[in-house]
Structure 1
Amino acid sequence: MNVTLLIPARYASSRFPGKPLALINGKPMIQHVYERASLAKGLTNIYVATDDDRIKAVVEGFGGNVVMTSPDAASGTDRINEAISLLGLKDDDLVINLQGDQPLINPTSIEQLINLFKDHPGEFEMATLGLVIDNKAELDDPMHVKMVFDNNNFALYFSRARIPFGRDTQDYPVYKHLGVYAYTRKFVQAFAALPLGRLEELEKLEQLRALEHGYKIKIAISDFDSVEVDVPDDIRKCEQRLAAK
């Protein structure tokens, strides 16, 4: 099974322009993401998917691979879809979508997604990661997406609100969604052709489009959190975590 990991990276960001090139301990964030991902076993190749020449130059400068996509991509999945077409991937090839703002991703988490497809061939075409929330401040923070799933670890719903809501108790696990996806090339093409979902539009969560149209999303529970860099202050948090290690 060929496994291509794609890292979509945009320069433009309303909250943090130039985010992929922001320095973390003197190294561009996109390089941290790329190098962490390269430690995962089972990958055939890795590419950064970008529309920006500055990002392209930096990635090629540290020896990484780049696929240039259109600046008109409406979403991250549209950028992924364009990239896999340019790379000529086959329908049953596995694609890992790792966001370019996750510089502390644990390679084991990527391997979990690859192994899901190896261990359950043909049972689903999309998978993602979850993690039990330990930090209570994240429970009601809409920036941290929550998730619920069935007894077979198939997603039931994703929300920016706390789900499930305990009517009589607060003593139960709540799971956070980690924004790393795995899917077949065939699924990505089908997904990109689907109309915007009603729930997707309300929550601003692209993965809900898959659920709304009847697709299954398999969940792997990770033991490792992955800090996402949304605003400049998150750089400091990443450096603190790296120093702690």
Structure 2
Amino acid sequence: MLLVGAVVAPVIAPYAADALDLANRRAAPSVAHWFGTDELGRDVLTRVLFGARVSLAIGLLSALASAGIGVVIGSTAGYVGRWIDDLLMRLTDAMLAVPRLPLLMLAAAVVQPGVPLLIVLVGCTGWMETARVVRADVQSLRTRDYVQAARAIGAPPVRVLLRHLLPAVVPTASVATTLAIGRGILLESTMSFFGLGVQPPTASWGNMLYQAQTTMSSEPWLAISPGLFIFATVLTCNVVGDALGRPASPPTS
């Protein structure tokens, strides 16, 4: 529902994304404006729907980027082993040792990223968990009989990895990717809350919270609406991730 709402936002939004109503600035929720209006008279519901397009895009695309990098590094380290495994895992450990949010905020302060660059930054700093779980799976799978048989008949390493090992780690990577979507949305929201993420007039849930922080006591609806959507999205991603990672129940007779 969240994804559908973001995709069809121009159709279902009650007002245009940049429509101003200066006569109804900071209006409380009403029939005309379900979530109220902001300091420029813009409809908050409309901005939440259009902000969903930005926040969900950052969360989804950065998670896919993180999954791609993590699968490549983890599968290479797990299958090749030896010094390559040591090198890649020490790189992973080094990245894990660096706090992610301060690193992103420092990078954003230097380059002032737009949405595409923000996706790249979040994606390139979130692959480590995926790499470690994929490496562990590949190390376990490479000793299986079907993998040994493929190597015995002369299958090249790349074919063994692509044909026999990577399909088996898809469930693990899917769980990590789903959870990374929620983390990406939270990171974008946090960075935008501090003024270092998506910049106005482009709406995102994070910069809506940033703009509402000075009036939370007098106009709480400006913060409650994007906050609830962030909460619902992250909760949904976590629930889906848990469901994907849960082993299937054995068939009953």
Q: Which has the higher strand share?
A: 1
Q: Which has the higher helix share?
A: 2
* Length-normalised TM-score, structure 1: 0.22
* Length-normalised TM-score, structure 2: 0.21
* Greater Cα radius of gyration, structure 1 or 2: 2
